[in-house]
Amino acid sequence: MSDHNAPNDGSTGHEWDGIRELTNKPPTWWAWGFYAGLTFVTCYYIIYPSTPLNLKMQSAINSITGAEMFVHGHSKGIMSMVNGNPYYKGENWTQEEISALEAKGFSELKIKAGDRKYLDAWTAINEMRDDVAEIEGVRADNMAKLATMSVEDIIADDNMRQFALGRSVVLFGDNCAACHGSGGQGTLNKNHPGESFPNLTDDDWLFGGWPAKIVETIADGRQAEMPPKGGNDELTSADIDKLATFIHDGLSTGDAELDEDGVLTKGADNPTFAAANDLYQETCAGCHAANGQGSMKNGDFDTGAVNFTDGIWRFGGDLATIKETITNGRKGTMPTWGGRLDETTIKILAVRVHQMGGGMDAEPE
């Protein structure tokens, strides 16, 4: 008897280095899965464009059957013969359709009247291409409409506002996010306070947050300037310490409060505050306002002097940074975008900034 042929042990009798080939049937669930998969693939193959064929064979089969079963070296799929979908009809482009596309803003059309539509019959890529073309068409219409509308009107119109906001995501990311952050939240740079950028999502404005003003800021840019020592060379470092303490411990915490005339209504009993306020009214109030609430309180929407009473900082609210700001001054530059970005793009960005959270309806009275 041959020693490698042991019957009834569930093997085929083949053995390689101790590994035996067994005769077990695959599990039923697996077999069903296999047949289901096979059926699906077969149907898919017949229904959709699939089977490749060389071009000679293609034209032979097409001429024998008299039906265009193969195009571009693959089968069209039987759905192409039963379905009324334009992808299967093999229509030609008409001049009317081409003119309509051109009117929608497609300038680089490669098709001409008489060209066959959907050469490859249905493919996922063709369908996507045509869907994209449709979306582009809607987009071109909306872009043309945006060009004629004011920022206020865009914001008031639900559809156009949503459209502008959708378009603004990439524009903001490409042009503004590097400084203002991807969500417009700005940054306070602790190590280099001069490289801090304002938050655009709050209602704390330096120059104003109504639509026309935002457009002006974006188009013309801003050059803010806090002069060293507020422009008063006679300030001593002791004066600067007093002013910084007044801002840090007083105005920003609410322990010192000023009325519209620059009179201390709270904190007057603190001698440092009282002395600092005299200096403040003399040197700083012209820009930062008598009550410390910033240049916008003076009805000045071009200086961008910060509000000290809201706890929101442009460069940093720790005592050392405040002293540094007063001593050396600051020069924040918002770049000019007019000329680099077209008017419609600037409007779209203005809608975004306005809608980020703190948009004002109109210039304050």
Helix then strand count (H, E) for the chain reads 15, 8
Question: Is 47 or 319 the residue whose CB approaches ligand HEC more closely?
Answer: 319
Residue 58: phi, psi to the nearest 5?
-55, -50
Amino acid at 339: G
Q: Which of 178, 263, 320, 362 binds ligand HEC (CB under 6 A)?
A: 178
In order, the DSSP letters of 21-53 are EE-PPPPHHHHHHHHHHHHHHHHHHHHSS--B-
Q: Does 332 participate in binding ligand HEC (rule CB under 6 A)? A: yes
Q: Which of 203, 333, 343, 363 binds ligand HEC (CB under 6 A)?
A: 333
Q: Which of 71, 337, 347, 348 binds ligand HEC (CB under 6 A)?
A: 337
Q: Does 286 participate in binding ligand HEC (rule CB under 6 A)? A: yes
Q: Which of 49, 211, 230, 292 binds ligand HEC (CB under 6 A)?
A: 230
Min separation Cβ 105 and ligand HEC, Å: 24
Alpha helices in the chain (DSSP H): 28-47, 55-65, 79-82, 86-89, 95-103, 124-148, 151-156, 158-175, 177-180, 211-220, 237-245, 271-283, 285-288, 319-328, 343-355
Residue 301: phi, psi to the nearest 5?
-110, 25
Q: Does 353 participate in binding ligand HEC (rule CB under 6 A)? A: yes
Q: Does 62 participate in binding ligand HEC (rule CB under 6 A)? A: no
Q: Which of 143, 179, 274, 275 binds ligand HEC (CB under 6 A)?
A: 179
Report d(CA 291, CA 297) in Å as an integer.
8
Label the pairing between strands 257-258 and 19-22.
Answer: unpaired
Q: Does 287 participate in binding ligand HEC (rule CB under 6 A)? A: yes
Burial class (CB in 10 A: 0-12, 13-18, 19+), 160: middle
Min separation Cβ 232 and ligand HEC, Å: 6
Contact region with ligand HEC (CB under 6 A), list: 34-42, 48-56, 95-103, 285-293: 285-293
Binding site for ligand HEC (CB under 6 A): 175-176, 178-180, 197-198, 200, 205-207, 214, 217-218, 222, 224-227, 229-231, 243, 247, 283-284, 286-288, 303-306, 313-316, 322, 325-326, 330-335, 337, 349, 353
